[in-house]
Structure 1
Amino acid sequence: MVTKGILNNNYRYLKDWKSKIKVMFIVFSITSFIILFLEPFKTDDSSKFIVLGYSICTLISYLLVLFFEDYLFKKQQLWLVKNEITVFLSLFILSAISVYWYDVTIIKKQSFYWNHLLAFTLKITIPFGVLLIPLIAFLRYHFGKIYELLNQYIVTLKGSNKSDFLEIDQRDIFYIKSSNNYIEVKYLNSEREPQMKLIRCTLAEAYKQLPFFLKSHRSYLVNPNKIKSVEGTQKKATLQLKNLQEEIPVSKSYYNSIKSKIK
């Protein structure tokens, strides 16, 4: 989405604890298999049960992250890309510290040194992360779903008169066209059919109310999420919009800006 940036896009969230625990134990099982049978750690004569402690450290780290994400979701009532990234960074950091602590204090019975953590992370934690993080990300995405705030996308386009306004989901607007002292708003109505509404307002005033829309022409504001493609060259270009047959003109001065933003 161009409107808020990739990090602020809604992302699929794993809300129910039954699914959270299911994913956690899948990861725990795979981690345990790798540790017990591929033996990446030098554990000398330690028993299998003691060696399993590495997996338990990862399990506990993930459990702590689950409580953290649950608190975060309840606080904001939606889940964004940046929240998901924060979860994985937190999991990686907690796992790196806990596994290193377990390795040096329990297995090797040595002292814990922070300055050795980086070398351990590069050698052990990152290779494990390369294997496990894509799996966790896939499972979380597969079982999760998108949550949106009530009226999160509702905007009100106001005209010069109090009675002259349009309250609408911004995702349903195709474009806004200047027409003398009015604007023509093309949008999807409740029957999901294209409709036009005339509001006494200038294009500049409309742009202040919808700053995430893109200028394609001195007379047009376009919803970036409705853009299907840019046709033609800089000298003569048009925009193809999703679910709309009309072509929107693109002037030379806005061509490069439009092309770069929709990428």
Structure 2
Amino acid sequence: MYQLPPKDRIFAVFGYTVVGIVTYLMTIPIQRLLYKLSGRKWTLLQEGLFVLSMLVISGGIGYLFFKFVLLANDPYAHTFSYFFLQNVIPTVFLILPVMIFLRWMFSDKTVTEIVVTEKEPTIVVKGENKAEVLHLKASELVYMESANNYVKVFYLLEGELKNELFRNKISVLQKEFPFLLKTHRSFLINPTHFLEWKRESSQTILLLKPGVTEIPVSKTFKKALVEKFINPAE
């Protein structure tokens, strides 16, 4: 570099910077391949192979820039071996400690896999009146209770049990939300909130969480409910 005119030095610095960027971009697929082949683990061996690939690629691209761009086919330009030993190796040893330190410092961020989770869909509870609309997640719906021509919907809002009254029939809502289970002609429950059974004289009661809400169970639906909660796989 010190043998070059001032203008050529600026051009050389810019050119070798581009060489460095191109080299790193070319080694990213190599790094990913080594990571997959090692069972998604990054060891000193993978790090060594990555640095070696960077060394070879940077040396090759750097020499092409040196011989065919910077010196424009100068017949007295250094050979590849001389260029590699005198220029590439010293430069690598100069920046390698900094690079290793930075890669070690940010290693948790570079190898951590991003797990994409499916967002729970929103359900919409509607009444006969157009203004009666409730948007919530399926897991937030706890149970429904029929009250004459109305249905009282119990749901969770920031962990607290709330309720809204809708002008509708419980049979209509049962068809709209088939994941709900009927325990009584007036009750539909979300099975994910089942807590335990309770026997009270001749009446069977089902307990829901949160708040340990008691839901009556009629003989008509008892057998199916018992099989559902004792053998959930079925």
Given the two structures, how large is their TM-score scaled by the length of structure 1? Answer: 0.44
The structure showing larger relative contact order (alpha-carbon pairs under 8 Å, at least 6 residues apart) is: 1
Q: Structure 2 length as normaliser, TM-score? A: 0.49
Higher strand share: 2
